[in-house]
Structure 1
């Protein structure tokens, strides 16, 4: 089922040879592999962000594509190395440390196998404990993507319900109000992407041009409160004005037209960053 496509993601950056080493290992396994990059700019050690970027991207790749995602603060520890087969027939090679949380919840996982390092690890690397991205994940991903091994040959099957999952914030509904979290940033532009889906937001019966009261807390500390227009696109408000919109993942976003909301108000991401959207009654 593999299609010779290999897509790499990591928190390694491009300032040294780490990513190039992963590509080299993959090309030694199969020189004809078609290798691409999702991103290597994941915030260091941020498993949640790595999982979100996979969820943001994999639906746009063909069936049979193999993804290697290495955000691995526990490298060398007892955490498992796995390959997940998604409901959309793609493979994700990754540490079992929470990276698969969004995929499991929003895409679905058919099966998970633990990488058997006796077989699926580069030769003569058993005494290297800190670069599994090169020695285990890129290597196994290349073997799988090229069809040199089948999914069954990755290693023993694990129960899907047993994989490590990160905390996911559920949307809370109250009268004329929805509450969620700031999941992640649209990094380059500083827009906030929330956990509130388009369907959940429709509970407030929004109409374009309508204003909502938006409140952001960091734990219990008030960070932002203002009335914000709901629009189709950024141009629906003047430059420098805030806007609520539905982003490319059908979730509520909060932006400043031609500005960075995150920088303007020092907003971060994660379960402790609460956002409330309240319908303003006339």
Structure 2
């Protein structure tokens, strides 16, 4: 049975790159179902690509094939791979850290290096800058269409030796938790932290309680205030900040009907630390 092909990249939609990838996939099998995760990953941001896969993959059926192309090292010695998750999804991507969150939070059962001898579009060997079209979309489509099996992708690699990006470990005390701002809920400007729900609940917060939130950019204090912990944004007045548990069970910080990130010029990454403490 044919599987769905889901595409992700940092290419955007202002030119023909995604259409070319879709065309390659339909050229393999015009009956394939092709969907898009996002093509608005911040250019070259591998961590963001890894996080968006983590945010999304588990909600698709077993056997779904994902093609994720955020590949600043395209044409270099980095490997092209297909990972099989513990839940039975396939992810076609460069081995450059894009599989970090999938490995940590979902688990990878096996991984194979794409053999470009058999799994590359014909007559593209002289092109070194669009593997998303010539290798990843082509291989992903063949896998989704059932033309090749996982074993046909290429030689098996060690799951333990894939490239992984640093993920911030939460610091927990009796009355505080500290992590980083991993990513934004982009459209609404909410901060999604690395602090997991269970870690946050270890300090026994109560709905409606005010907690002290402190945010640093490296050593520079950017924000410090008492913020209400609520179930949803409507628990505070419009324009007021709130601490909540987001859709991937991490601590989020938002402004009701506003953008926290824009209001306080807050970015993402390991240099952005956030501490939540009993007031």
For 1:49-64, list aligned pairs within 5 A: 49-64=48-63
Assess if the C-alpha contact under 8 Å between 2:11 and 2:18 holds in 1.
yes
Give the secondary-structure state (helix, strand or coil) at the position aligned to 1:213. strand
CA offsets, 1:173-193, max 9 Å, x none? 123110000000000000000
Q: Give the Cα–Cα distance (whole angstroms) in 2 for the partners of residues 219 and 163 of structure 1.
A: 29
Query: In structure 1, what is the equivalent of residue 81 of structure 2?
Result: 82
Gap runs ≥5 in structure 1: none
1:3 shift after superposition: 4.0
User: What is the CA RMSD across the aligned residues, in angstroms?
Assistant: 0.6
Q: Give the Cα–Cα distance (whole angstroms) in 2 for the partners of residues 271 and 30 of structure 1.
A: 42
Normalization by structure 1: what TM-score? Answer: 0.98
Query: In structure 2, what is the equivalent of residue 168 of structure 1?
Result: 167
Instruction: Kindly indicate whether residue 199 of structure 2 is the aligned counterpart of residue 204 of structure 1.
Output: no
Instruction: Kindly indicate whether residue 147 of structure 2 is the aligned counterpart of residue 148 of structure 1.
Output: yes
1:71 shift after superposition: 0.2
Q: Give the Cα–Cα distance (whole angstroms) in 2 for the partners of residues 203 and 55 of structure 1.
A: 24
Assess if the C-alpha contact under 8 Å between 1:83 and 1:113 holds in 2.
yes
Assess if the C-alpha contact under 8 Å between 1:246 and 1:253 holds in 2.
yes
For 1:234-253, list aligned pairs within 5 A: 234-253=233-252
Instruction: Kindly indicate whether residue 166 of structure 2 is the aligned counterpart of residue 183 of structure 1.
Output: no
Query: In structure 1, what is the equivalent of residue 92 of structure 2?
Result: 93
Query: In structure 2, what is the equivalent of residue 31 of structure 1?
Result: 30
1:175–1:74: structure 2 CA closer, same or farther, 3 Å change rule? Answer: same
Give the secondary-structure state (helix, strand or coil) at the position aligned to 1:235. helix
Give the secondary-structure state (helix, strand or coil) at the position aligned to 2:72. coil
Q: Give the Cα–Cα distance (whole angstroms) in 2 for the partners of residues 258 and 180 of structure 1.
A: 25
Assess if the C-alpha contact under 8 Å between 2:47 and 2:98 holds in 1.
yes
Give the secondary-structure state (helix, strand or coil) at the position aligned to 2:202. helix
Q: Give the Cα–Cα distance (whole angstroms) in 2 for the partners of residues 38 and 18 of structure 1.
A: 15
Instruction: Kindly indicate whether residue 131 of structure 2 is the aligned counterpart of residue 126 of structure 1.
Output: no
Gap runs ≥5 in structure 2: none
Assess if the C-alpha contact under 8 Å between 2:208 and 2:229 holds in 1.
yes
Instruction: Kindly indicate whether residue 272 of structure 2 is the aligned counterpart of residue 273 of structure 1.
Output: yes
Q: Give the Cα–Cα distance (whole angstroms) in 2 for the partners of residues 22 and 149 of structure 1.
A: 18
Assess if the C-alpha contact under 8 Å between 2:2 and 2:32 holds in 1.
no
Assess if the C-alpha contact under 8 Å between 1:3 and 1:64 holds in 2.
no
Moved more, 140-149 or 2-11: 2-11
CA offsets, 1:121-180, max 9 Å, x none? 000000000000000000000000000000000000000000000000000012311000
The count of residues paired between Structure 1 and Structure 2 equals 279
Give the secondary-structure state (helix, strand or coil) at the position aligned to 2:55. helix
Assess if the C-alpha contact under 8 Å between 1:87 and 1:109 holds in 2.
yes
Give the secondary-structure state (helix, strand or coil) at the position aligned to 2:263. helix
1:205 shift after superposition: 0.2
